[in-house]
Amino acid sequence: MTKKRTLILFDKIGSKAEILGEKSGAIIATFTDLLFDINGSNLQVLVKGVNISDFGLVYIRRADHSHFALAGSLARCLDKLKVPYFDRSFSEIGAAGDKLTSYLKLSIGGIPVPPTIFCMGINIKRYEDYIISELGFPIVAKELVGQHMTGIYAISDKKQFEDLPKKVGEKGRIAKYLFQKYIPLESEYRLLVLGDEVKVVHTKVPRDYSQLKLNYSNMNEYERYLDVVSISPEMQEIAVNAAKCLNIQIAGVDLAIEKDTGKPYIFEVNRGPGFNYDTSVSPEISELIKFLDKKLSK
């Protein structure tokens, strides 16, 4: 039986890292070499194309501020895959995590999220064939640090991978991507979850995947508030469970329904969601105040 080897991960590899790898007989790699494939119970992590489960031990040697959340996400995966690792403190990342961390927690927690693959922009070329084979076209690419509908692209053929920013994304940070399977949507909602209940529901803008850079113009024209009872109890339960999975008590949950199948997906769970402060239009502020007052009186 072949003995499994140790993987040592660094934020960058210099001469000292190479010495450690040589003397220990371990494989050395950087966080930029990682790919995360999130698809329900079929979770995989690849390191330079090698399945991380093939290693007997992972030593997270050093993670600087730009890779700290990534190290925490990796720790969550290693727990799920039952691969021993050090240091276990990385699994306690909590609110310091990012969108990748959230998707991993949700998927591991049994919450339906779109099939998602993460990799660094500089490694897209290495993994693009894998991404295509797993997700098929069209593919939705989202910059990890994108906010307010920025840094989102639709890819309909292999050549369009070349148009994605590889090193520096829209906000001047290292380009990191979540690639997601395209899901045709029947409807999409933002649900305000307060504690154990959905208290506000409003529709979200339809998404246009017809071009590389997605079009979210005139977003507010499509938003309207609905009675909570217009959303089924099952969907409300999924939204509440998604917030609980991330330990968020005041959450904006983006929930969508797949066309034809009616299958629900959670696209995002926002900590500190934005509110419409016009109380003549939106019940968000009124419901939030009631929730806070109720908790204060306990």
Please state whether the peptide bond connecting residue 84 to the residue before it is cis, i.e. omega within 30 degrees of 0. Answer: no
The 3-state DSSP composition of the chain as helix, strand, coil percent (nearest 5) reads: 35, 30, 35
Under CATH, which number does the domain 185-297 receive?
3.30.470.20
CA distance 230 to 76: 35
Look at residue 220 in the predicted model and tell me its pLDDT.
47
Q: What is the mean pLDDT of the chain?
A: 89
Look at residue 218 in the predicted model and tell me its pLDDT.
45
Task: Read off the pLDDT of each residue in 244-269 and give the average, rounded to a whole number.
Answer: 95
Look at residue 219 in the predicted model and tell me its pLDDT.
46
Q: Which of the residue ranges 93-102, 122-131, 164-173 would you say has the lowest mean pLDDT?
A: 164-173
Share of residues in the chain with pLDDT > 90 (%): 69
Selected from 3.10.20.30, 3.30.1490.100, 3.30.1490.20, 3.40.1190.20, the CATH number assigned to the domain covering 116-181 reads 3.30.1490.20
Beta bridge partners of 135: none
Question: In terms of DSSP H, where are the helices of 56-123?
Answer: 68-81, 99-108
Task: Read off the pLDDT of each residue in 69-81 and give the average, rounded to a whole number.
Answer: 95
Q: CA distances (Å), 266 to each of 107, 274, 296, in order?
A: 10, 18, 30
Task: Read off the pLDDT of each residue in 120-142 and give the average, rounded to a whole number.
Answer: 94
Task: Read off the pLDDT of each residue in 176-184 and give the average, rounded to a whole number.
Answer: 93
Query: Which residue type is seen at 3?
Result: K
Residues 88-107 pLDDT 10s: 999 888 777 899 999 999 99
Look at residue 272 in the predicted model and tell me its pLDDT.
83
Task: Read off the pLDDT of each residue in 35-44 and give the average, rounded to a whole number.
Answer: 94
Task: Read off the pLDDT of each residue in 245-259 and give the average, rounded to a whole number.
Answer: 95
pLDDT surpasses 90 at 286 = yes
Beta pairing, strands 27-30 & 6-10: parallel
Look at residue 43 in the predicted model and tell me its pLDDT.
96
For the chain, domain boundaries? 6-108, 116-181, 185-297
Task: Read off the pLDDT of each residue in 75-98 and give the average, rounded to a whole number.
Answer: 91
pLDDT surpasses 50 at 44 = yes
pLDDT surpasses 60 at 148 = no
CATH T-level assignment (fold) for domain 6-108: Rossmann fold (3.40.50)
